[in-house]
Amino acid sequence: MRSSPAAVSATGAGRRHGVMLRLVGAGVMLTVMADTTATTLAVGVLRYTPAGAGMPLGDLVWLTSAAFIPIAALLATAGRWADLFGRRRVLAVGLVVFVLGGIATVTVDSWSYVLAARAVQGAGAAAMIPASLGLLLGELPESQRRGAIALWSSASGLGCLLMQAGGGWLAATVGWRALFVPDVVIGVALLVACAALPAGRRGTARGVPDVLGAWLLAAGIAVVVLAISKAMAWGMDVVWLALAALALIGGALAQARHHRLPAIDLALWKRPRFVWGWLATWGFGALSYGLLTVQPLYLLHLGYPMLEVAMWLTPTSVAVVVTSFLAGRAVKRVGAYGLIYAGSLLCGGACVLALMQAGPTVWGLVASVVVGIGVGALAPGTSVATTLAARPHQYASAVGAATMARMVGGAVGVAVVSVVIDHPFMTGPFAGLAGALALCVAISVLIGALALTKITRLRPDPGDDMIKVPRRLLLELRMTLATVAAEADALLPVETRTPPTDNHVPRPRTAEPGPLAGIRGHTN
What DSSP letter does each residue of 300-328 carry, written as one string? Answer: HHTT--HHHHHHHHHHHHHHHHHHHHHHH
pLDDT of residue 188 exceeding 90, the answer is yes
- Number of other CB atoms surrounding residue 422 within 10 Å: 13
Which has the closest alpha carbon to 386: 134, 143, 73? 134
Q: Report pLDDT digits (tens) over 212-237.
A: 877 787 788 778 777 776 666 676 77
pLDDT of residue 485 exceeding 90, the answer is no
Distance of CA 232 to the CA centre of its chain: 29
pLDDT at 315: 82
Name 422's Cβ contacts closer than 8 Å, sequence gap at least 6: 56, 57, 58, 432
pLDDT at 98: 94
pTM above 0.75, yes or no: no
Name 176's Cβ contacts closer than 8 Å, sequence gap at least 6: 41, 42, 45, 46, 51
**395 and 268 Cβ atoms separated by less than 8 Å:** no
The pLDDT-based confidence of 468 (bands split at 50, 70, 90) is very low
The pLDDT-based confidence of 15 (bands split at 50, 70, 90) is low
Q: At what angle do helices 5-47 and 87-107 cross, to 10 degrees?
A: 30
Q: Strands (DSSP E) along 175-299, which ranges? A: none
pLDDT at 94: 92
Domains in the chain: ranges and CATH: 13-199+210-456 (1.20.1250.20)
User: Would you give the DSSP letter of residue 268?
Assistant: H
Alpha-carbon gap, residue 188 to 99, rounded angstroms:
7
The pLDDT-based confidence of 341 (bands split at 50, 70, 90) is very high
Query: By three-state DSSP, how is residue 41 classified?
Result: helix
Alpha-carbon gap, residue 48 to 67, rounded angstroms:
22
Residue type, 283: G
Q: Report pLDDT digits (tens) over 498-523.
A: 554 444 444 444 444 443 343 334 44
Percent of the chain with pLDDT over 90: 9
Which has the closest alpha carbon to 228: 156, 290, 301? 290
**319 and 376 Cβ atoms separated by less than 8 Å:** yes
Question: If you count them, how many residues does the chain have?
Answer: 524
**119 and 69 Cβ atoms separated by less than 8 Å:** yes
Distance of CA 12 to the CA centre of its chain: 29
Mean pLDDT over each residue of the chain, to the nearest integer: 76
pLDDT of residue 281 exceeding 70, the answer is yes
> Which of 296-305, 384-393, 460-469 reaches the highest mean pLDDT?
384-393
Percent of the chain with pLDDT over 70: 75
Alpha-carbon gap, residue 192 to 209, rounded angstroms:
28
pLDDT at 464: 44
Alpha-carbon gap, residue 339 to 375, rounded angstroms:
10
pLDDT at 343: 92
